[in-house]
């Protein structure tokens, strides 16, 4: 007997042809043959071990991320999807996403991915400006982006385009031109987010010519207006979709739902019957992983960290946060965080309503400052 509450599955493919200077995701650069067959075999064994953690929950979404999953051959993707379905119940209408680079050699595989069960494609375009693509160390051109999008549109309706603003040497006009190109091809979903330079990236130690905060804010606000005017609904900090094309997988994350993660460096979150929440972290060492050493660590989220983890996800959404939902998902009483809620209200980040907390416009714009209030 399966429970009504679904669960998501994240699958990490760790390889890239090149590590971009701004990227802080876990990945291996490989110019050699990728051990696809062996990795898929181990992914499925990793999956089998996690099944004991998710008893009686159907898989509602699958997301294949990376790295660059579109480096995988059609046979590998087919074996992976079929292997998951053979081992556990996946909902008939499950959303199955794969991340892909808009590079010609990779987009030739898309029609085969579709046959394997992939029904949502997320293209990491970042910008349509070839010069800017070079500056952020992407491995394709603007013409390849456009060609890839056109090809994909003939295969599948559910397409996300990832775009960034605030790139090195990018001005306001260039950032809006990117959006106009994206809108022209009418994808079902657009992710529009600011480039952030993390400390553990190559770009962190470089002197980059990035626009000042005023220009960045104009990129954000004018881009936001353009997307909404073009029929895209904003439902999360950086996510815009056409009607009924929200990303179900990410919505589960942002609603503090449960998921398992398989593959090098993947992590999961599973609620226990005793009200505790379990975090799993998978081995980042590829050699160890391929020898069957999948789990790096497993721990219970402490009571002191639960509110922060919950709000870190739910405050991203453009809808009120239900107090009842907070209690159900964290097993915490509202009084436990009352002082921090009042602090957020005093700073103009939150509005306290009868059954909900609502983030203000200021709270959304200064989300990191809002979240810091809930850190232990």
Give me the pLDDT at residue 26, please. Answer: 59
pTM: 0.94
Tell me the C-alpha distance between 60 and 94, whole Å: 5
| Digit-coded pLDDT (tens) for 305-322 | 999 999 999 999 999 999
**Terminus-to-terminus CA distance in the chain, angstroms?**
39
Q: Domain 307-376 belongs to what topology?
A: Arc Repressor Mutant, subunit A (1.10.10)
- List, in order, residues 6 or more apart from 373 with CB less than 8 Å away: 340, 343, 344, 347, 349
Tell me the C-alpha distance between 253 and 317, whole Å: 11
Give me the pLDDT at residue 15, please. Answer: 87
Q: Reduce the secondary structure of 302-319 to three states and give it as a string.
A: CHHHHHHHHHHHHCCECC
> Phi then psi for 39, rounded to 5 degrees?
-65, -45
Give me the pLDDT at residue 4, please. Answer: 59
Q: Which helix (H) or strand (E) holds 8?
A: strand 3-13
Contact 250, 256 (CB under 8 A): no
**DSSP states of 168-200:** TT--HHHHHHHHHHHHHT--SEEEEEE----TT
Give me the pLDDT at residue 18, please. Answer: 65
Which parts of the chain register pLDDT below 50? Answer: 1-2
Give me the pLDDT at residue 103, please. Answer: 79
Domain map of the chain by residue range?
3-252, 307-376
| Digit-coded pLDDT (tens) for 14-49 | 987 766 655 655 566 665 678 999 999 999 999 999
Tell me the C-alpha distance between 31 and 180, whole Å: 35
Tell me the C-alpha distance between 324 and 350, whole Å: 17
Give me the pLDDT at residue 1, please. Answer: 44
Classify 3-252 by CATH class: alpha beta
**DSSP states of 103-159:** -HHHHTTHHHHHHHT--EEEEEEE-S-HHHHHHTT-SS-HHHHHHHHHHHHTT-S-E
């Amino acid at each position: 007997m399966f429970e009504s509450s679904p669960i998501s599955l994240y699958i990490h493919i760790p390889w890239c042809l090149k590590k971009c200077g701004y990227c802080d995701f876990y990945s291996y650069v490989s110019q050699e043959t990728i051990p696809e067959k062996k990795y898929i075999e181990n992914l499925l064994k990793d999956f089998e071990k996690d099944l004991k953690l998710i008893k009686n929950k159907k898989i509602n979404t699958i997301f294949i991320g990376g790295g660059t999953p579109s480096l995988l051959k059609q046979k590998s993707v087919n074996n992976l999807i079929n292997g998951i379905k053979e081992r556990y119940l996946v909902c008939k209408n499950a959303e199955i996403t794969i991340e892909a680079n808009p590079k010609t050699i990779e987009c030739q595989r898309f029609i085969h991915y579709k046959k394997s069960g992939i029904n949502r494609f997320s293209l990491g375009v970042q910008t349509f400006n070839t010069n800017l693509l070079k500056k952020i160390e992407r491995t394709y051109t603007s013409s390849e982006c456009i060609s890839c999008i056109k090809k994909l549109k003939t295969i599948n309706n559910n397409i996300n385009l990832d775009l960034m603003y605030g790139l090195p040497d990018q001005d306001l006009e260039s950032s809006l031109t990117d959006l106009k190109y994206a809108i022209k091809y009418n994808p079902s979903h657009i992710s529009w987010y600011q480039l952030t330079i993390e400390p553990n990236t190559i770009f962190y130690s470089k002197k980059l010519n990035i626009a000042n905060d005023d220009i960045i804010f104009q990129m954000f606000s004018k881009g936001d207006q353009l997307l909404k005017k073009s029929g895209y609904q904003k439902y999360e900090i950086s996510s815009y979709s056409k009607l009924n094309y929200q990303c179900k997988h990410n919505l589960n994350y942002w609603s503090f739902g449960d998921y398992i993660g398989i593959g090098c460096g993947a992590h999961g979150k599973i609620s226990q019957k005793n009200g505790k929440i379990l975090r799993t972290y998978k081995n980042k060492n590829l050699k160890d992983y391929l020898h069957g050493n999948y789990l790096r660590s497993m721990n219970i989220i402490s009571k002191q960290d639960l509110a922060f983890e919950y709000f870190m996800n739910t405050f991203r959404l453009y809808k009120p946060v239900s107090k009842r939902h907070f209690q159900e998902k964290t097993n915490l009483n509202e009084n436990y965080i009352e002082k921090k809620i009042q602090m957020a209200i005093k700073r103009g980040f939150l509005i306290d309503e009868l059954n909900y907390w609502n983030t203000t416009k200021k709270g959304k714009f200064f989300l990191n400052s809002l979240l810091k209030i809930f850190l232990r």
